[in-house]
């Protein structure tokens, strides 16, 4: 067995804002793992060369973020079905056989966040998804995976929602952005995947008249933690789940594969990121 200290990191550009090193650093310390996790600012033009060199330097894997999540699929030797379906990877493993393995754990993080923080039955009824960007792809793939049979989708730029319907199939129906509130009628899972509501962006102001108090409502935005959308849904009597848990849960499978310990996502872990 190798005695090298395992290295991992998050690759993006710019990357200084990423909280992943704080999270993995906390887990490394908590579980007494001798390893390191660092920021890696890599330009698009250098990505392949950097990825091919990393195993020689002791890297066992990496997370990938903007702008490399899609490009990395064409560089990887093995792409999991879910990463291919989502069209992006966020977790890489440098296998002992030299192969670069690319996976996507965003959908897992999304589902695990709802399972851990709400009394959520995915099959209780239709889902309403706002937004059709990269995050929406992972959300839709994972909702279909856990058995949701009807997903209503609305996006400001309709053509992006239509493209997702064409890819993911007839369980998806597209609603005009100006009528997005109508998707809430009878919806049991409600998800904001747009960047609206984020610090510095306009609020996400969908009319909530049709929202059932039985719905579980979540926002992928986690700065601020409690968006106006979540607060309004909570006032309506809904269970609400913030986006930070998705970020925490998507990180756990990578940590386990690289460092050999399945990390627990708990209140202490949340507090580490909130303190940053």
Active site residues: 69
| Residue facing ligand NAP at closest CB distance | 133
| Contact call for residue 193 and ligand NAP (CB under 6 A) | yes
In the bound state with ligand NAP, the residue whose beta carbon lies nearer, of 6 and 109, is 109
Q: Which is nearer to ligand NAP, 58 or 133 (CB)?
A: 133
* Secondary structure (DSSP) of 26-86: HHHHHTT---EEEEEE--GGGHHHHHHHGGGGTEEEEEE-TTSTTTHHHH-SEE-HHHHHH
Residue whose C-alpha is closest to residue 78's, from 61, 100, 97, 93: 100
> Is residue 72 within the footprint of ligand NAP (CB under 6 A)?
no
Closest listed residue to residue 206, CA positions, set 122, 117, 131, 114: 131
Min dist CB 119 to ligand NAP, Å, is: 20
Residue number, 207 or 213, with CB nearest to ligand NAP:
207
Q: Does 39 bind ligand NAP (CB under 6 A)?
A: no
Binds ligand NAP by CB under 6 A, chosen from 104, 117, 155, 189: 155
Q: Is 91 among the residues that bind ligand NAP (CB under 6 A)?
A: no
Name the nearest CA neighbour of 66 among 48, 43, 83.
Answer: 43
Instruction: Output the furthest CA–CA distance in the chain (Å, rounded).
Output: 60
Bond preceding residue 67 cis, omega within 30 of 0: yes
User: Is residue 173 a contact residue for ligand NAP (CB under 6 A)?
Assistant: no
CA 221 remoteness from chain centre: 11
Q: Under DSSP, is residue 212 helix (H, G, I), strand (E, B) or coil?
A: coil
Per-residue interface string for the shown chain with ligand NAP, residues 243-272, x marking contact by CB under 6 A:
x--xx--x----------------------
In the region spanning residues 207 to 226, those forming contacts with ligand NAP, defined by CB under 6 A, are 220-222
Q: Please name every residue paired with 103 in a beta bridge, in sequence order, or none if there are none.
A: 91
Q: Give the interface with ligand NAP as residue ranges (CB under 6 A).
A: 106, 109, 131-136, 155-157, 160, 193-196, 198, 202, 220-222, 243, 246-247, 250
């Amino acid at each position: 067995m190798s005695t090298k200290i395992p290295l991992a990191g998050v690759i993006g550009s710019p990357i200084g804002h990423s909280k992943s090193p704080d999270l993995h650093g906390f887990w490394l310390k908590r579980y007494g793992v001798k390893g390191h996790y660092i920021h890696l600012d890599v330009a698009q033009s250098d990505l392949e060369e950097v990825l091919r060199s990393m195993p020689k330097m002791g890297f066992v894997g990496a997370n990938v973020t903007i702008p490399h999540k899609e490009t990395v699929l064409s560089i990887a030797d093995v792409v999991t079905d879910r990463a291919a379906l989502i069209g992006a990877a966020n977790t890489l493993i440098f296998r002992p056989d030299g192969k670069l393995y690319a996976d996507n754990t965003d959908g897992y993080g999304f589902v695990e966040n709802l399972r851990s923080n709400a009394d959520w039955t995915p099959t209780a009824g239709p889902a309403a998804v706002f937004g059709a960007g990269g995050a929406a792809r992972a959300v839709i793939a994972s909702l279909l995976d856990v058995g949701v049979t009807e997903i209503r989708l609305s996006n400001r730029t309709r053509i992006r929602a239509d493209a997702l319907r064409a890819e993911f199939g007839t369980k998806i129906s597209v609603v005009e952005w100006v009528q997005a509130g109508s998707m809430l009628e009878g919806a049991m899972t409600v998800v904001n995947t747009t960047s609206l509501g984020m610090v510095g962006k306009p609020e996400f102001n969908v009319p909530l008249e049709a929202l059932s108090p039985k719905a579980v409502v979540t926002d992928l935005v986690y700065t601020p933690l409690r968006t106006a959308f979540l607060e309004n849904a909570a006032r309506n009597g809904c269970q609400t789940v913030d986006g930070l848990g998705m970020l925490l849960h998507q990180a756990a499978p990578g940590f386990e594969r690289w460092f050999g310990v399945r990390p627990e996502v708990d209140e202490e872990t949340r507090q580490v990121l909130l303190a940053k």
